[in-house]
Structure 1
């Protein structure tokens, strides 16, 4: 049953009031309010200079009767008219959820609003003493009941059960609905009374549940690991995302925000809105890094660059969690990689799943993931690569690595522009390499690559394994030969023809860590005595890389691409379309597949 009943009159009985507590404490704070609506009398509490929170059933007749709010502990402040501005969707029954309403006062009042406690402060062993300031019959200025929480669990994911502190004293009675439940020790609120349950029991909406119904209250209720300013900022950004109409699926965003191994599963019924997801991450998920993941995933779904930047900036200040970093090989080169993974999607013809990540401190930090058509890839990648730089240490040496399907390794990704308004090729601005997606997922080849790099560490030069356009070497034998001795391979032509694809596959299976080729090259039609442009390419490349350690090849190739681009001789230069496959597994955590399914 609710704890408000119609009362025809309000006789004064000030002589029966208990002594007031000092101003600002739980039982005598000025923010305690009495709410009158028609024949209903209930309690409430000030949450802002012009807003009072109470139960919806206290003001159920607010559309037909005036609502009046009085602050009995504010000397000289008379009744203030109010109107209902927000409710929790209460349907009218004693057990219906959402029994709360926000009242807007006719004017601001010069009182300090309530202060909320952290969600777990109302619990403990022994349980803390709680005070409820209500307005039962004959107590116009209110009286205090003492209660405690019986158990931490919520009833129907809504209420917390209260029981009387002692077997005597003031019980919850008509007039207590809407009363703040406050800690006797601090005066901070932990919830709001909604109903009585028997002679010595009551139900309370916890503060976190109040915030679920009234999102701006989340700025007042301390979320674990987040201050009011951080919560307010993210809530505002969330509202901006909703206004943009970004294609957000709440259940999917939740799944991508929680830890895939230790995170709680999707709650029954899922989520109705983005706010429901954010509220759940703030108050129900014991992982302070989850809201940051949520913000970064939202950033990927919006097209507005300013909003995307703001979300990434918020995520950058959010806690990172306590997961240990992956072990770092002390011999690994000092790269800070940005990895772009492209994969054909099953969502439709010509669709690709693009994921952009930054690697820092042994962790992979997903920056963006979206399914796109091929013509949209370069612009999307440029935007997310730009965002990935915010995840890297200041001044760190950057390596951009494209992880591509084998059939796409010849794509001109080094020539993709840096941005929509900047046609500068990425490969001329940063060291840029490609890696074979299939090899990245094979444990035996990754192990062999690590072994190769330990052999290469400390070498002062690079020796090429030349693959000429007329090579007839058997693929299997070449793989076996390269497995022990092959470190750097160079081809006269891209892996397009069946023969070149076989030789190229031999290099990948032979765990060759560095492979170079021209995107266009000798097609073998020059005859036995004709000049071979592929041979010229190999000669020039050998001279250019002579005396260079393999670990420095990405930097040297970047300088070469820059020289070719600035020379203006894009058609005649021997390195005009040079592609570099370079893979040192020590630079990256173990690959674990895409963060999202290619089918979307």
Structure 2
């Protein structure tokens, strides 16, 4: 039989669970639960039949207040994860969440909030589901369940339990840790069992996720109420909460305090910072399994578990100190967090204090502190061009007109002088080279070209010029050796800056390209613009009207379909810098990876002082991916267009056969 856990935590979960109903009354729509003051989490499919035509409609949240008096509050949908183009009733797991907000005077209702787990690993083998079922009037429902299988990154499947209609949107409690880990999604038709949505799917709400979870952590961090049981005290008694009887171990109370303090630190601005700091706190060992990408400082804290047990306190204190150093590097003042870390460190054996007191940010991270302290920042290599000079190696790949699946090629070297580039090797006759054979054929000539211009301090960038239809050629994954050294990544995109150029822009630049490039270089800050806007077809004016510092960001391939149309419009509007994901993308809607691509690109662009830094910053991210073997990283398949009209490709005769 499944375990049911602590009865006090079970009662707190029950108290935080509510049901949703029309303001005019009638049959309840489904269940939900309070996750922060005034915030209810439920399933999107619970609301869509009633709010599909009017998302601003006011409805009611009904349940109990702290003193067990009835709760009836007005509420409105704040956001859901549904793709607007989605049709039918079978909503994908990763889209079936909605956040509801109390409105008006009801915002101040005194209600319970569940404790949401920060650990992204799948829960144990058993759980408890709470909800309501319609039976004349809504009645509370509860059942212990067995978790049988895991369905992708966000799905849990149950068997052997009959779920009544109405419990969708209710909380799924892990009795081993005393934390809510999922949202009940659906029952199985004509059979026992059902599905739930694991909490990491909440990360797809982006900035809203971070703000609601910060409110959650501040509410719990305000301390226990003296008149009733509280989550943290009861979690202290659960074995899976961690063996926390000595200061060397991390307790639920430590976790509550740390997350409360992290909620007051400005967000990290993207995935890379969180993942890299958490990995360093883990001793540079990647977290187990294939976890969804962390987006907040809270998520990074949740990576410091082995199974469901927290690691030693020193790992958490190291992570928190790294967050302090990162925030100070950005000009912030996380004094409260730093003071608590220093005070909590007194309970840890002095022999390991230096791990925390001498914490340094990972190499290559922005801001990166040099040995001289915060005033010494390790440089980001600017891309060659204009007065900066610098050498570049360019590969031109021209598809044959009568065999577009084969290429002619030419390698050029630009020494950094004003006389332009010179060809050093080529194959511009015969049957051309098949895509699968390209890198094998180019290895020796590229090695020779790099030896001409590389220095110990600065490997030359590699540009690959292709027609836009071939922009999804993942050249950053090319290897110059068939067998890499153990201590050195063989991938070109890790070793040096690798970018793409538009082969059709040979010769004298047009006005749109020049004006757009000058505006980008003069912009005070860079920003990513999602292209195309989800649910809308790309239009030329979207690209022509972008601000000077705007960079098109595609979460999909740029060489075909909607992404291909968007990229062609971007090029026609003069854009010289763009980012896109070269791997597969659903025909309709977006992949769960897409939000990570957009957030990561925004972080990359926001860190750069000017566009010339972007290729090296992306290379550093690729280096980190190579070190961590993180196949799920947002940038693993990301390519960059960096097409400088100040150094255009020579206007030659076509490389095709005569």
**TM-score normalized by structure 1?**
0.41
Q: Which has the higher contact order (CA 8 A, sep 6+)?
A: 2
**TM-score normalized by structure 2?**
0.38
- Max Rg structure: 1
